[in-house]
Structure 1
Amino acid sequence: MALPESEIVVLPPPRGALAPAARIPVRWRASARARRVSLLICPREGEVVVTLPPRAGRRAGIALLRQHEAWVLERLAALAPPIEFAPGAKLLLGGETHAIRHEPRRRGGAFIEGREIVVTGAREFLPRRVGDFLRAEAKRRIGALAVPHAAALGVKPRVIRLKDTRSRWGSCAPDGTLAFSWRLVMAPEWVTDYVVAHEIAHLRELNHSVRFWALVEQLTPNRDAAVEWLRAQGPALLRVG
């Protein structure tokens, strides 16, 4: 029997326990490379991803959910509420809260006005226009941060791309292509600056050696604080849009 891609798994309480059944959103993932059943919390979708190796079925996944039920429920409850791109919604931009304001009769697509993101045109286009604006703003800001760091090390990225990754804020390919999560546009500039400096340093040292970290320290003083900010606040950024 084929696994459903996603479902709500209902875990009844132990016999005799006075507690409601736990309802857990689960995304099933079959993997030929996995050696054991595993689970992780996906902050972006607000669900549990259960990975099943060959010859392991849904029953094994549910057994693992039952074993770690308290941990799973605690982690899901701790997730930030999702934020949709809608009029009145508030989201971070450069670490500062901005509200989305819909101005249907104005022109210009989407732009910043004070501490608001003004979106023009018909209501049905608002989510796409906000998303396009944030990606364009991320590209502009990341590009501006990359230029001085690359000059300082005498390197040049082959190309800078934006992605919507779930677990990595930035990456550097062997051919010199840099990729960043567009969601960094919501983080404070000094946090984004650290991620950019980290990937620029990889253009000189494609590793995490002592030499690499010395280059990062040369480019930015914010490593420890930025890593902590992303650890604490990063999951909330994945809940936006």
Structure 2
Amino acid sequence: MPVLPGPPPVEITLRRSGRARRFSLRVSRLDGRVTLTLPQRARESEALAFARDHQDWIRTALESVPQTAPVGLGTRLPVEGRALLVQPGTGRLVRIEGDSLLVPGDPDRVAARLAAFLRLRARDRLAAACDRHAAALGRPYARLTLRDTRSRWGSCTADGSLMFSWRLILAPPEVLDYVAAHEVAHLAEMNHSPAFWAVVGRLMPGYQPHRIWLKRQGQVLHGFRFGD
């Protein structure tokens, strides 16, 4: 992988595209990955020269990428929009008590146990929301899967399969519900046309603030590192 020299050095991911007509740079706000897109026939040396010419912009963009932090005892973790303090627990199950998120067992397994707990909670909440919106729409979905996606919060395929990021459980419940309504709406409109947004509005009136929250705050949810 090409590296832009300097303090510190920056790795550059090159991506050739048949549709690209010029060089373009992108810095992911999720993980700080720097991608340089270039036309199919462009020389790699020219692409790297382009990156060097724009290194001030690259480094400025990297400075604005939220830092990730490992999850463990003492972490303040948002769960359904509430900031909970991760603390040692007793018994066998992870549980919420007041403003605490209690995790029993080996402290080295806290992150893994929390990830499993949050995935299960996310599935329960998303399944309930999707069932409700699909019933209102009159169109059933085929299945629901969870992933730790970085580029999207949810998706809907042509066969009616829904996919969501389990990190939506960290967001306020209304935001999770909006994403569920958004993807269920694709069962009727596989696009983002005015007709699609009208369906979203019928399923969840007043969805706009929750969409804005996700655009502005969603990247913070990727800042918690569970080691998975």
Question: Would you say same fold, with TM above 0.5?
Answer: yes
Q: Deviation per CA, 1:113-147: give whole Å up to 9, x if none.
A: 22222111112222211111111111111112112
Distance in 2 between residues matched to 1:173 and 1:126, nearest whole Å: 34
Residue number in structure 2 paired with 1:186 = 170
Distance in 1 between residues matched to 2:197 and 2:70, nearest whole Å: 37
Residue number in structure 2 paired with 1:10 = 5
Q: After the TM superposition, which of the residue ranges 158-167 and 74-83 deviates more from structure 2? A: 74-83
Q: CA deviation at 1:23?
A: 2.1
SS at match of 2:177: helix
Matching residue's letter, 1:73: R
1:89 partnered with 2:84: no
Residue number in structure 2 paired with 1:100 = 86
- Using the aligned pairs only, state the percent identity: 37
Q: CA deviation at 1:174?
A: 0.2
Which of residues 45, 56, 59 in structure 2 aligns to 1:70?
A: 56
Residue number in structure 2 paired with 1:28 = 13
Residue number in structure 1 paired with 2:94 = 110
Matching residue's letter, 1:10: P
> Within 5 Å, which residues of 2 pair with 1:1-241?
3=1, 9-11=4-6, 22-31=7-16, 33=18, 35=20, 36-54=22-40, 56=42, 59-103=45-89, 106-241=90-225
Matching residue's letter, 1:49: T
Calculate the TM-score normalised by the size of structure 2.
Answer: 0.86
Calculate the TM-score normalised by the size of structure 1.
Answer: 0.82
Distance in 2 between residues matched to 1:37 and 1:55, nearest whole Å: 11
Change (3 A) 1:206 1:37: same
Distance in 1 between residues matched to 2:98 and 2:163, nearest whole Å: 29
Q: CA deviation at 1:203?
A: 0.8
SS at match of 2:87: strand
Change (3 A) 1:112 1:60: farther
Change (3 A) 1:32 1:65: closer
Distance in 1 between residues matched to 2:8 and 2:176, nearest whole Å: 36
Matching residue's letter, 1:210: P
Q: After the TM superposition, which of the residue ranges 41-50 and 94-103 deviates more from structure 2? A: 41-50
Q: CA deviation at 1:164?
A: 1.6
Change (3 A) 1:76 1:215: same
Ranges in structure 2 where 5+ consecutive residues have no aligned partner: none
Q: CA deviation at 1:224?
A: 2.0
Q: CA deviation at 1:53?
A: 5.0
Matching residue's letter, 1:149: H
Matching residue's letter, 1:120: P
**Aligned pairs, number:** 224
